[in-house]
């Protein structure tokens, strides 16, 4: 039997990051030395720097907040609507992000890990694991790419819309760079441990995979 054709084999991509995420949340004390080493290599912003922070750092902090993600998601939904001329992809993006935010709050309450000690340059309420900024920025980038990627294949057969392909590829590069920079900045700002950021990304992989399965199941059953 070909295992790749097993009906449950695609769920491995959902189960593996979920298992790693849970293990990371439970056994993080054993990884304290790893956290300390990585944080030491990245460094930490001082309160003096906070008075003259580059605009990029301020944006990275804002982007992962509820206001920042609301604005970004609104722009993403509007872009998908303009590209597709229909609302389905935009609703899928909005639904995935909204469900992800609920998932984030539940997991933070379950693990209730305290943040690193110290003074922060920005307000940092709530628990530390997983990093909310790392999670939501990764999630938005993943959803936007997966929902808009079919446009590239579609436009590949239409040479008159090469500009759209360039625009989407450029947005993918920018979003990926911002996502990685946001994760790095949470450690640099001293608001999260490296395992918090890694946990945020793993949680993002899990939720994006799970939501994709739910979405595919819904579309398959509604089209019968």
Q: Could you tell me which residues come within 8 angstroms of residue 172 by beta carbon, excluding any fewer than 6 positions away?
A: 145
pLDDT in tens, 90-139: 999 999 999 999 999 999 999 999 998 877 878 788 899 999 999 999 99
Q: How confident is the model at residue 222 (pLDDT cuts 50, 70, 90)?
A: low
Q: Give the pLDDT score at 12.
A: 80
CB 167, CB 157: distance < 8 Å: no
Q: Give the pLDDT score at 199.
A: 96
Q: 72 vs 158, which has greater pLDDT?
A: 72
Taking CA atoms, 125 is separated from 81, 114, 194, in Å, by: 34, 10, 18
Q: How confident is the model at residue 224 (pLDDT cuts 50, 70, 90)?
A: low
Q: What is the 3-state secondary structure (H, E, C) of 123-181?
A: CCCCCCCCCHHHHHHHHHHHHHHHHHHHHHHHHCCCHHHHHHHHHHHHHHHHHHHHHHH
Q: What is the pTM of this model?
A: 0.88
Q: Give the pLDDT score at 2.
A: 37
Token digits for 192? 């999260």
* Confidence check: pLDDT of 158 > 70: no
**Count of CB atoms situated within 10 Å of the CB of 28:** 20
pLDDT in tens, 27-72: 988 888 999 999 888 888 776 665 667 788 889 989 999 999 999 9
Which residue has 């360039």 as its token pair? 166
- Torsion angle of the four alpha carbons 119, 121, 124, 130, in this order, in degrees rounded to the nearest 10: -100
Q: Which 3 state secondary structure label does DSSP give 1?
A: coil
Q: Which 3 state secondary structure label does DSSP give 58?
A: helix
Which residue has 């640099």 as its token pair? 188
Q: What is the mean pLDDT of residues 167-189?
A: 94
* Confidence check: pLDDT of 89 > 50: yes
Give the domain ranges of the chain.
Answer: 68-224
């Amino acid at each position: 039997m070909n295992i790749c054709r097993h009906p449950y084999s695609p769920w491995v991509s959902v189960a593996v990051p979920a298992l790693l995420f849970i293990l990371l949340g439970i056994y993080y004390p054993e990884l304290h030395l790893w956290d300390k080493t990585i944080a030491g290599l990245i460094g930490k912003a001082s309160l003096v720097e906070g008075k003259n922070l580059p605009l990029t750092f301020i944006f990275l902090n804002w982007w992962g907040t509820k206001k920042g993600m609301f604005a970004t998601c609104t722009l993403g939904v509007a872009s998908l609507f303009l590209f597709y001329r229909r609302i389905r992809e935009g609703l899928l993006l909005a639904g995935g992000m909204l469900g992800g935010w609920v998932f984030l709050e539940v997991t933070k309450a379950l693990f209730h890990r305290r943040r690193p000690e110290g003074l922060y340059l920005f307000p940092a309420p709530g628990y530390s694991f997983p990093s909310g900024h790392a999670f939501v920025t990764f999630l938005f980038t993943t959803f936007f790419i997966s929902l808009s990627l079919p446009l590239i294949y579609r436009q590949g057969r239409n040479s008159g819309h090469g500009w759209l392909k360039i625009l989407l590829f450029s947005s993918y590069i920018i979003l990926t760079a911002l996502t990685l920079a946001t994760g790095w900045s949470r450690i640099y700002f001293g608001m999260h441990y490296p395992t918090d950021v890694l946990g945020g990304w793993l949680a993002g992989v899990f939720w994006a995979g799970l939501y994709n399965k739910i979405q595919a199941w819904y579309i398959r059953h509604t089209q019968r």
